[in-house]
Amino acid sequence: MIPATRKEVLGLYRKVLQIAKNWQSASGQAEETVREKEYIRNEARTLFRKNKNVTDPKLIKQCIEECEARIEIGLHYNIPYPRPIHLPPMGLAHKQGRTLRHQEKLRKISKPIYLKSHDEVS
């Protein structure tokens, strides 16, 4: 990893931990705030540790974009959890007779960037 990228990744990690430290739940309940803070910290640790050995610049850029998108969405909606996508299970086929494997490929391609790593962690 080049030094500029390393610095950017560590800055994002610090930013996520700072957000977790200052997080307030939407409901304002203390136990929910604590639960959400812990979720943010655990999610950050898990994903950053999982990706610590990534060396491909394109994949690193994709991970950085995902992190930034999740930060922005979390702060905007005041929800630390990833927002679900609403795609019907078999709603991406254009013609009759397409295989399930093709459907799964289309679903994977259509998944928003902020949910790319969610299925791997949860």
101-119 residues labelled b (16+ CB within 10 A) or e (exposed): eeeeebbeeeeeebbbbbe
Residue 114 and residue 67: Cα distance in Å, rounded?
7
CB 67 within 8 A of CB 16: yes
Compute CA 94 distance to the chain's CA centroid, rounded to the nearest angstrom.
Answer: 29
Determine the angle formed by the axes of helices 3-22 and 57-77, rounding to 10 degrees: 20
User: Taking the model in full, what pTM does it have?
Assistant: 0.71
Residue 75 and residue 15: Cα distance in Å, rounded?
12
Q: Which two tokens stand for residue 39?
A: 């979720």
Tell me the Ramachandran region of residue 78: left when phi exceeds 0, alpha when psi lies from -120 to 50, beta otherwise. left
pLDDT by 10s per residue, the chain, length 122: 678 889 999 999 999 999 999 999 999 899 999 999 999 999 999 999 999 999 999 999 989 998 998 999 899 989 898 776 655 555 555 555 556 676 667 666 666 666 667 655 54
